[in-house]
Amino acid sequence: MPELPELEVARAVLRERLCAKTIARVELFQPLAALVVRDQTARGFAETLTGAQFADVTRRGKFLLFAFAPPVTATLALNPKLTGRLQLAAPNVKRHKKTAVIFSLSDETELRYFDDKAMGQLYLTDDVTRVPTFADMGPEPFAVTRAEFRDRLKPYRGEIKGILTRGEFIAGIGNAYADEILWRAQLHPFRKRTQLTPDEINRLYDAMQNTLRQALEIVRVEMGENIHREPRAFFNVHLKTGEPCPRCGTTISEITAQQRLTNFCRHCQPGGLIRGM
């Protein structure tokens, strides 16, 4: 799933490549397009966007937002979820078999959206607050102070990894970066929030800031303009089951619960309820 670092890099690339470009043609590939495209304007997805000129690309949490020059007033909001990806490509580049939408641009390049499991959504909307989960998001990680972070944690009583991945707590963090943040903070992913000391909460805040900032720099280099890629080889624990912990050498553990994989180091991240390997 693309999270804050990947989406922020994609946003910067798309802003550079798309702004002032016009959409010459919109192609919807069925039946996939019917699953991922949502027209909340009732004016027609392709009809509205054909001829539209990109004005800006922004990010909020795990959403990318495309704004257009007048007379188009609608916003295109992308929530890629688990498997949705955007790709910039020349027309002669082979299309991904799960492509749902292609926007052909005035510079003869294409912006493509493909989704292997049809889990993401592209919303054309006059009001982004009508897009599911959008209005419920908490602050961005880099916008929240240490004191605000501590205060926002107080209402939650569950496992700390689950809290980190709740968009209404902090926007933009998903399963992968939660593992990396907790490893850096040396906190067991299944520790209860109520068990954390003030020092551990401070470590968690610092780990969130440092992990995401460092990831941004790495992803920016490794992704380049290949925004459909998801650089993850630099991770310390996530998807590193059975490999040695980079900090202590202990074999990295894996637990799968509620259809979510969690990786952590039992030595560096002690405590918590052990529910698997």
208 and 127 in a common domain: no
Q: How does DSSP classify residue 165?
A: T
2 is catalytic: yes
115 and 50 in a common domain: yes
Look up the CATH number of the domain holding residue 209: 1.10.8.50
Choose the catalytic residue: 25, 260, 270, 275: 260
130 and 13 in a common domain: yes
Residue type, 155: P
156 and 131 in a common domain: no
192 is catalytic: no
260 is catalytic: yes
Two tokens, residue 141: 């990680």
Please state the pTM of the whole predicted model.
0.94
Which of 76, 111, 136 lies at the terminal end of a domain, its last residue? 136
Q: Give the angle subtended at the CA of 85 by the CAs of 79 and 87, to the nearest 5°.
A: 125
185 and 105 in a common domain: no
Q: How far is CA 215 from CA 91, 185, 220, 229, in A?
A: 31, 15, 8, 14
117 is catalytic: no
Choose the catalytic residue: 3, 6, 8, 180: 3
Choose the catalytic residue: 11, 59, 62, 240: 62
243 and 178 in a common domain: yes
Q: Give the angle subtended at the CA of 23 by the CAs of 17 and 25, to the nearest 5°.
A: 135
> Would you give per-residue pLDDT tens digits along the chain (277 residues)?
899 999 999 999 999 999 999 999 999 999 999 999 999 999 999 999 999 999 999 999 999 999 999 999 999 999 999 999 999 999 999 999 999 999 999 999 999 999 999 999 999 999 999 999 999 999 999 999 999 999 999 999 999 999 999 999 999 999 999 999 999 999 999 999 999 999 999 999 999 999 999 999 999 999 999 999 999 999 999 999 999 999 999 999 999 987 789 999 999 999 865 443 3
Place of tokens 């992913």: 189
Query: How many residues are present in the chain?
Result: 277
